[in-house]
Amino acid sequence: MDDAIARNPSVVACVAGTRILAMRAVICEQFGASAIDRALVRVAPDVRAEYEQLTSIAWVLSSTDYAVHDAIAAVLDREPLAFHEQVLRAAMGRSFKTIWRVLLRLTSDEALIARTPGIYRRTRNVGQMAVRANTRGRAEFELTQYPGIGPRDIRSIGAGLEVVLSLTGRAKARAVARPMLNGAIYTLTWRV
């Protein structure tokens, strides 16, 4: 990701195309491609075009991510936020079934926490994440420079943090977010 883009407050929030493609694969496997097809007729043409044409190296508007997944949830008669988080967690699990899962499982807690801001930079085009505290079974991150961050973004990022910890062998991983202007403070805990 271009750090100049990440620091520019006028940039519209986007998520990595690889994440959206992984989510699409999960939806197709669990609910069938027809659920996506039925949902796409419910969204605006520009949203549909962005979703249909995305690639693994693209940045996708967060608003497109949410609009499409909300439409799919509606087609499936699911609550949108819970559906989005369920699919996000499954997609991240799919992504981490590669060599990353093995390597990060063998990494110390301290090293994993130190790498987390780098992992974040690969998933969103806005915001800067920094480690504020790192002790045994607990870490605190500060997310800043994310203008207009909403509750859904905060919740999705927290879910992502939990998934990374869980998939790398940290038991009972839990992220609690405290919103702040243009960001959030995340407190992560896990059993040691």
Place of tokens 């996506």: 36
Whole-number pLDDT of residue 98: 65
Among 90, 85, 96, residue whose Cα is nearest residue 26: 90
Among 155, 144, 152, 153, residue whose Cα is nearest residue 180: 144
Among 113, 121, 96, 132, residue whose Cα is nearest residue 190: 113
Instruction: Identify whether 133 is part of a domain.
Output: yes
Q: What is the pLDDT along the chain (192 residues), one digit of tens a residue?
A: 344 344 444 679 999 999 999 999 999 999 999 999 999 999 999 999 999 999 999 999 999 999 999 999 999 999 999 999 999 999 988 877 765 666 666 678 888 899 899 989 999 999 999 999 999 999 999 999 999 999 999 999 999 999 988 888 889 999 999 999 999 999 999 998
Whole-number pLDDT of residue 104: 64
Whole-number pLDDT of residue 169: 82
Cα distance between residue 138 and residue 140, in whole Å: 7
Three-state DSSP at 176 gives strand
Half-sphere exposure of residue 35, counting CA atoms within 13 Å on the CB side?
21
Q: Which two tokens stand for residue 108?
A: 């110390």
Among 18, 24, 126, residue whose Cα is nearest residue 69: 24
Domain match, 129 and 73 both: no
**pLDDT tens, 122-152?**
999 999 999 999 999 999 999 999 999 999 9
Instruction: Identify whether 100 is part of a domain.
Output: no
Which residue, 95, 130, 146, sits at the end of a domain? 95
- Which amino acid, residue 29? E
Instruction: Identify whether 101 is part of a domain.
Output: no
Domain match, 12 and 38 both: yes
Instruction: List the CATH number of the domain containing 143.
Output: 3.30.1380.20
Q: How many domains does the chain have?
A: 2
Domain match, 56 and 124 both: no
Cα distance between residue 21 and residue 151, in whole Å: 23
